[in-house]
Amino acid sequence: MAGLADLTLAEARDGLRNKDFSALELAEAEITAVEAARGLNAFITETPERALAQAQRSDARLAKGEGLALDGLPLAIKDLFCTEGTLTTAASHILDGFTPRYESTVTAKLWAAGAVMLGKTNLDEFAMGSSSTQSHYGPVENPWRKAGEDRPLVPGGSSGGSAAAVAARAGLGATGTDTGGSIRQPASFCGVVGMKPTYGRCSRFGIVAFASSLDQAGPFARTVRDCAILLGAMAGYDPRDSTSADVEVPDFEAALSGDVRGLKVGIPDEYRVDGMGGEIEKLWRQGIDWLEGAGAETVEISLPHTRYALPCYYILAPAEASANLARYDGVRYGLRVPGDSIDEMYENTRAEGFGQEVKRRVLIGTYVLSAGYYDAYYLKAQRVRTLISRDFTEAFEKADVILTPTTPSAAFAVGEKMDDPIAMYLNDVFTVPASLAGLPGISLPAGLSEAGLPLGLQLIGRAFDEETVLRTAGVLEDAAAFDARPGRGVGE
Amino acid sequence: MTLIEGRTGEWECVIGLEIHAQVISKAKLFSGAPTDFGAEPNTQVSFVDAAMPGMLPVINGFCVEQAVRTGLGLEAEINLTSVFDRKNYFYPDLPQGYQISQFPLPIVGKGSITLDLEGGETRTIGITRLHLEQDAGKSLHDREPGATYIDLNRSGVALMEIVSEPDMRSAEEAGAYIRKLRSILRYLGTCDGNMEEGSLRADVNVSVRRPGEDLGTRCEIKNVNSVRFVQQAIEYEAARQIDIIEDGGVIAQETRLFDPSRGETRPMRTKEESHDYRYFPDPDLLPLELDAEWVADIKASLPELPEAKKARFMADLDLDAYDAGVLVAERETAEYFEAVAEGRDAKACANWVMGDLFAALNKAGLGINEAPVSAASLGALIDLIDDGTISRRIAKEVFETMWRTGSKDAAAIVAEKGLEQISDSGAIEAEIDKVIAANPGQVAAFKGGNEKVIGWFVGQIMKATEGKANPRTVNEILRRKLAD
């Protein structure tokens, strides 16, 4: 049935409930879309049989009027979530052949809500990157092209496969993880909506760890409403994750009232950074006007430690990663490259199993934790993190939500910035501060660059106040009326 | 002060101990996997213990309670906020590539232990800290040439590392410290103290110095698994260090291993010790916050510990320091003794427990819980002495019979064998008359002033009555008759 893959998740949900089409038909349409988008290399593993089997079970429930919240809705899963019986790679050679015997809490919740798995999406190895080019399974391509050019662009990262899939209509939605911007930045690059909830909102159990104090799962979709629906199914306290928060999960969809009258929207002066394109500045201005037009009030706020956020992040995240990745030693699972001694086996396995960016971060992380450097790097970065958190706490005394651009530029070409890790890291300049503070953030497409590429705006909220973020995002979404579509991989 | 005589004068040995005590708990420190000793390899391993991707540690509240209980038993400060850190190093039996431990902020701070030394002397040893950490798995290098097998059953089991101040001055004190600590842990039920099974292991820090001088450079002897080996290792190590210094050398700070078969310590390969552990707070775990009231509840529920029990035995039961110390050393001994002594003469009961019972246990190689004679049976036997039914000599025989046959009823044995004491003075008098009549020479000797002869007479009469005559009655009548 043509056009089903083009529906929003909410439309598909309603269509299934009205029996306009079956879950099986929807799954078949999505499987076709996934196949059509293969040129993007968005998926590492496609699971069509599983999708069809799940869809049939959904149809059985729907026929009895016992449809679950996400019954029959096909989703793409970032290949950082462990899925029982399905290869899980983290896009790393070192996890060769690793098929978990357990399911991550977030995906288990999605399946329990009736969702259907289309496959596992490509990413930067171990979620380390902002381009989704650092994958053992090859780079992901952004379905968007600059006007009049056919040069492949990156989808952003690390959840680039999920963002590209959703943009290319290969999945009604997708899961991602965000450590320093890995949901919001690719959402911005691919012209879709991506949300990182509050740290602790979603369980990290069963997600391959990158930086434990920052990693957080969240949804991608093509609308704010779809993200709200997905987040509702993904979120919730999990006793198997000590950092998961024992708080109620509100009805996020119900938060989309469309009313932001009287809402105080903070505009941080410090986010006017060098190197930010004029069109980004213009878009930001536009966002302010839209919200003011809807009755919100904008207030100037200050987040004075913003400029320390990136260096702070690039100490703390690698430090945690250096320990989190120590378990990939060739002893119990994944790749093993033999050696004459146990040390040689470790060295051979890790030298061959990890890509360049992962090695870089493991080395940085090991360095900043080592004797003699710990105080100057790790400890100092922890203190800076506290100051960054405090900036937000103080800002939220004046504002209810903060509006910023998501990224300082639109998507760049595959191969660009590859020899300059610092330039690559700058992609995360607007997303990292909220990650360090553990706050919820969303990116939604708000316009096109002069070259015809999507640009995103970011909203940051108070801890566990995803509702205000979603409500404001809904208003911006309506005002922006973003309806541009990518040219590639959309079943053309 | 215990000093060691060297070639160039006297030396003092300074010892500190780090004890790793396995927490008694059904489940591991951060996973629900079981902890039974001796299970088939890799049968007690959860996905968390094997460090599968995406697995997360969740603290076992009971292990925390056990650590707090131990801290309270050591009269130590309980830190209401403590933090778990990652200690990073690569080893095949350490699946995570780091051990979750506690470094700057342990759950228990400063405390102390009182040692009972010979001659009723006591000595207080400072406890620096106690922290919780995960045990590692086991590497088996001897199954197949060129291969190492890994058993992860122990991986993630909860350990308490209990660190002492460098307050000990001799191998004997170190031994007394381990025994006392083990006794407290067993009283508390927080560690079974079983060194053979590895539930209690010691890292021993040893240095030497001239009396009164600053601390010398120390060597750490890792993973010693019996009290005897700890003492041997200290003696060897102190002598080794003194030799080096007296020969004009200097001590290198290093980690050493004790080889029990040769009775000596030797350096570990430097590769094994040159770790930079890169400790940092484990971001998978929030700081451990304890409620002061919860700690107070645990404190209120602590059993009477050996120190308090000893003081009570001395004050209320009138035992001397030595007897009290021996009886409280093991919780089970103290419980047995208290059951025997309940309503009876404590000193007499202590003599039975420490004399006949201990001797029999030693001979049979049994623990007090395995004794074939229960506390109640022994108590009933002592009652038969007190009420004059049998003599102490006969009682020993009855005890041996009970031990051998497992019979619980002393009175029945006495009745069956006709062992009741003869207190009937008429019957005894008749026997005495016979003996006096038959031995005029001995009577004359007594009358001539040889008091010792009385013992000979008593012996004759006991022999004639098969030991059943009441010795006091025999003595009384005999003296009267001989004086006639």
Distance between CA atoms of residues A92 and A80, nearest Å: 10
Residue type, B78: I
Contact B54 A370 (CB under 8 A): no
Q: What are phi and psi of B374, to 5 degrees?
A: -75, 165
Q: Select the residue of B56, B57, B97 nearest A329 (Cβ to Cβ).
A: B97
Q: Which of residues 222-261 of A touch B (CB under 8 A)?
A: 239-243
Q: Select the residue of B97, B98, B280 nearest A378 (Cβ to Cβ).
A: B280
CA distances A313 to A357, A360, A366, Å, are 15, 15, 15
State the smallest CA–CA distance between residue A323 and chain B in angstroms.
7
Q: Render pLDDT for B69-98 as a digit per residue (tens, 0 to 9).
A: 999 999 999 999 999 999 999 999 999 999
A436 in contact with B at a CB cutoff of 8 Å? no
Contact A204 B56 (CB under 8 A): yes
A108 in contact with B at a CB cutoff of 8 Å? no
Residues in CB range of B8: below 8 A, 6 or more apart: B246
Task: Average the pLDDT over B273-293 and give the result.
Answer: 92
Dihedral, B109, B115, B121, B126 alpha carbons, nearest 10: -20
Q: Which of residues 361-400 of A touch B (CB under 8 A)?
A: 366, 369-371, 374, 378
- Most A CBs within 10 Å: which of B47, B98, B138, B278, as the mutation test of the A interface? B278
A chain contacts of residue B282, beta-carbon cutoff 8 Å: 212
Distance between CA atoms of residues A159 and A161, nearest Å: 6
CB contact at 8 A, A110 and A217: no
Give me the total of CB pairs closer than 8 Å, taking one residue from chain A and one from chain B: 99
Q: Which residue of B has its CA nearest to A327?
A: B96
pLDDT at B271: 52
Residues in CB range of B292: below 8 A, 6 or more apart: B80
Strand runs labelled E in B196-334: 200-209, 219-224, 254-259, 264-267, 280-281, 288-289
State the smallest CA–CA distance between residue A347 and chain B in angstroms.
11
pLDDT at A489: 55
Percent of chain B at pLDDT above 90? 72
Distance between CA atoms of residues A315 and A380, nearest Å: 9
CB contact at 8 A, B156 and B31: yes
Which DSSP state fits A83? B
DSSP codes, B26-60: SB-SSS--B--TTPPTTSS--TTTTT-TT------
Q: Select the residue of A208, A212, A240 nearest B283 (Cβ to Cβ).
A: A212
CATH architecture of B425-483: Orthogonal Bundle (1.10)
A412 in contact with B at a CB cutoff of 8 Å? no
pLDDT at B274: 63
CB contact at 8 A, A193 and A227: yes
Residue type, B363: K
Active site includes A78? yes
Taking 60 as the threshold, does the pLDDT of residue B272 lie above it? no
Contacts 24+ apart (CB under 8 A), A372-375: A374/B278, A374/B280
ipTM of the complex: 0.96
- Most A CBs within 10 Å: which of B138, B150, B280, as the mutation test of the A interface? B280
A chain contacts of residue B99, beta-carbon cutoff 8 Å: none
Contact A326 B57 (CB under 8 A): no
Distance between CA atoms of residues A176 and A188, nearest Å: 13
Contact B280 A323 (CB under 8 A): yes
Q: What are phi and psi of B192, to 5 degrees?
A: -80, -10
Within 10 angstroms of residue B345's Cβ, the number of other Cβ atoms is: 14
A chain contacts of residue B50, beta-carbon cutoff 8 Å: 332
Contact A204 B54 (CB under 8 A): yes
B chain contacts of residue A207, beta-carbon cutoff 8 Å: 54
Peptide bond into A188 cis (omega under 30): no
Cα dihedral sign, B258-B259-B261-B264: negative
β-pairing, B200-209 vs B158-164, is unpaired
Distance between CA atoms of residues A55 and A70, nearest Å: 11
| Adjacent-strand bridge partners of B209 | B12
How many residues does the structure list for chain A? Answer: 492
Distance between CA atoms of residues B242 and A261, nearest Å: 83
pLDDT at B302: 97
Three-class HEC string of A415-454: CCCCCCHHHHHHHHCCCHHHHHHCCCEEEEEEEECCCCCE
Contact A82 B53 (CB under 8 A): yes
Within chain B, which residue ranges are assigned CATH 1.10.10.410? 425-483
State the smallest CA–CA distance between residue A94 and chain B in angstroms.
12
CB contact at 8 A, B191 and B160: yes
For chain A (492 residues), the mean pLDDT of every run of 10, in chain order, is: 85 97 98 97 98 98 96 98 98 98 98 98 97 97 94 96 98 98 98 98 98 98 98 98 98 98 97 85 97 98 96 97 98 96 94 98 97 96 98 98 96 84 84 98 97 97 98 98 82 44
B chain contacts of residue A436, beta-carbon cutoff 8 Å: none
Closest CA to A178 of A468, A472, A433, A420: A433
Q: Which residue of B has its CA nearest to A208?
A: B54
Distance between CA atoms of residues B61 and B67, nearest Å: 10
Cα B27–B29–B30 angle (5° rounding)? 100
Q: Select the residue of A209, A323, A378 nearest B98 (Cβ to Cβ).
A: A323
Distance between CA atoms of residues A41 and A123, nearest Å: 10
CB contact at 8 A, B401 and B373: no
Q: Which residue of A has its CA nearest to B281?
A: A320
Distance between CA atoms of residues A444 and A287, nearest Å: 11
Give the burial class of A113: count Cβ atoms within 10 A of its Cβ; 0-12 exposed, 13-18 middle, 19 or more buried: middle
A chain contacts of residue B96, beta-carbon cutoff 8 Å: 323, 326-327
A chain contacts of residue B30, beta-carbon cutoff 8 Å: none
Residue type, B402: M
Band of pLDDT at residue B429, cut at 50, 70 and 90:
confident
Q: Select the residue of A101, A327, A378 nearest B97 (Cβ to Cβ).
A: A327
Largest interatomic CA distance in chain A: 70
What is the enclosing helix (H) or strand (E) of A458?
A: strand A454-461
State the smallest CA–CA distance between residue B138 and chain A in angstroms.
13
Residue type, B417: K
A chain contacts of residue B58, beta-carbon cutoff 8 Å: 239-242
Query: Annotated catalytic residue: which of A182, A244, A322, A449?
Result: A182
pLDDT at A492: 43
CB contact at 8 A, A167 and A192: yes
Task: Average the pLDDT over B137-142 and give the result.
Answer: 90
pLDDT at A96: 97
A326 in contact with B at a CB cutoff of 8 Å? yes
pLDDT at B334: 96
Query: Annotated catalytic residue: which of A22, A58, A78, A109?
Result: A78
pLDDT at B442: 84
The model's pTM is 0.91
What residues of B are in the A interface, CB distance below 8 Å?
47, 50-59, 86, 88, 90, 92, 95-98, 148, 150, 276, 278-280, 282-286
B chain contacts of residue A216, beta-carbon cutoff 8 Å: none
Largest interatomic CA distance in chain B: 100
- Most B CBs within 10 Å: which of A98, A213, A327, A370, as the mutation test of the B interface? A327
State the smallest CA–CA distance between residue A324 and chain B in angstroms.
8
Cα A61–A66–A67 angle (5° rounding)? 75
A90 in contact with B at a CB cutoff of 8 Å? yes
Task: Average the pLDDT over B90-113 and give the result.
Answer: 96
Distance between CA atoms of residues A167 and A478, nearest Å: 18
Within 10 angstroms of residue B59's Cβ, the number of other Cβ atoms is: 17
B103 or A489: which leads in pLDDT: B103
Contact A242 B54 (CB under 8 A): no
CB contact at 8 A, A466 and A197: yes
Cα dihedral sign, A48-A52-A57-A61: positive
pLDDT at B118: 78
Q: Token pair for residue A450?
A: 């002069």
What is the enclosing helix (H) or strand (E) of A33?
A: helix A23-36
Contact B97 A370 (CB under 8 A): no
Distance between CA atoms of residues B424 and A414, nearest Å: 115
Active site includes A158? yes
Strands in A193-196's sheet, in edge-to-edge order, are A43-46, A116-121, A74-78, A173-178, A216-221, A193-196, A441-448, A454-461, A401-405, A264-268, A297-301
Distance between CA atoms of residues B132 and B135, nearest Å: 10
Q: Token pair for residue A107?
A: 């995906």
Domains and their CATH numbers in chain A: 4-262+439-480 (3.90.1300.10)
A360 or B476: which leads in pLDDT: A360
Residues in CB range of B119: below 8 A, 6 or more apart: none
Residue located via tokens 């131990």: B70
Residue type, B184: I
Distance between CA atoms of residues A74 and A50, nearest Å: 11
Q: Which residue of B has its CA nearest to A238?
A: B58
Q: Select the residue of A90, A242, A333 nearest B285 (Cβ to Cβ).
A: A242
Contact A209 B53 (CB under 8 A): yes
Task: Average the pLDDT over B315-321 and give the result.
Answer: 94
Task: Label residue A383 left, alpha or beta by phi (over 0 means left) and psi (-120 to 50 means alpha).
Answer: alpha
Cα B175–B181–B186 angle (5° rounding)? 125
Give the burial class of B292: count Cβ atoms within 10 A of its Cβ; 0-12 exposed, 13-18 middle, 19 or more buried: exposed
Residue type, B41: P
Contact A242 B47 (CB under 8 A): no
Residue located via tokens 């509006």: A403
